[in-house]
Amino acid sequence: MSDSRHVRIAVVIAVAATLSACAVGPNYKQPKTTVGERFDAQPLLAGAAEGEVEREWWKLFGDPLLDELVDTAVKNNRDVAAATARLRQARSQRRERLFDFLPTITGNARYDNVRQSAAGTPGVPSGFPLARDYELFDVGFDASWEFDLFGRVRRLNESARAAAQAANAARNQVALSVIAEVARNYFELRGAFAAW
């Protein structure tokens, strides 16, 4: 074999190794969770939309005071407010990631007015009329676009979407904990009053 053939084979192997190192992994598949046989995931009320009862389960008791206490607790709880702020931040970052698929366009404009005095110019005899005004205009435009050859932008987008979903689930969990605590305390208080 000639040396040029060895070089070509080495280049092909190096390029193939480089490209395989840049390849993106397989698409994410959510793992299946197994639920025990005794768990019944049916809605509490026939005909209710899925998740509707779970979100506002305390309204099944038909107690306006409990409804008001829950609303007040959720609106004024700092943990819920912090979780809501984290959710807004994650959703904002998700929206930002969507712009990574689009071209980036930048532009600028500048204007300068410069006055040069004859008195301040070295080497010019005094009284020589050299005072001048300069007007400088500068306009620039730039456009760029990153071709998502190896899927980096797509994966960052998927990551931002998953982070927003996680923040939403965390916010719902915090709100559910607050609601459950308010309802438990309310019913314990009602039970104590009924026992008197």
Q: pLDDT tens digits, residue range 15-44?
A: 877 766 665 666 667 777 776 666 655 544
> Residue 173: which domain range?
55-102+150-196
Pairing status of strand 132-144 against strand 104-116: antiparallel
pLDDT in tens, 138-157: 999 999 988 888 788 888 89
- Structural contact between residues 168 and 129, judged by C-beta atoms closer than 8 angstroms: no
5: in domain: no
| Same domain as 156, residue 196 | yes
| Same domain as 64, residue 134 | no
| Same domain as 188, residue 170 | yes
| Same domain as 192, residue 154 | yes
144: β partners? 104
The secondary structure element, H or E, covering residue 114 is: strand 104-116
Place of tokens 């600028």: 108
| Same domain as 158, residue 71 | yes
44: in domain: no
Tokens of 11: 């280049």
| Same domain as 162, residue 177 | yes
| Same domain as 165, residue 131 | no
| Same domain as 188, residue 123 | no
Place of tokens 């208080």: 189
Confidence of residue 5 (pLDDT cuts 50, 70, 90): confident
| Same domain as 196, residue 166 | yes
pLDDT in tens, 52-103: 446 788 998 899 999 999 999 999 999 999 999 999 999 999 999 999 888 9
* Region 105-117 average pLDDT: 87
Tokens of 127: 């009284």
**Half-sphere exposure for 3 (CA within 13 Å, toward CB):** 0
pTM of the predicted structure, to 2 decimals: 0.60
pLDDT in tens, 170-192: 999 999 999 999 999 999 999 99
**Half-sphere exposure for 152 (CA within 13 Å, toward CB):** 8
| Same domain as 135, residue 176 | no
Q: How many domains does the chain have?
A: 2
| Same domain as 178, residue 109 | no
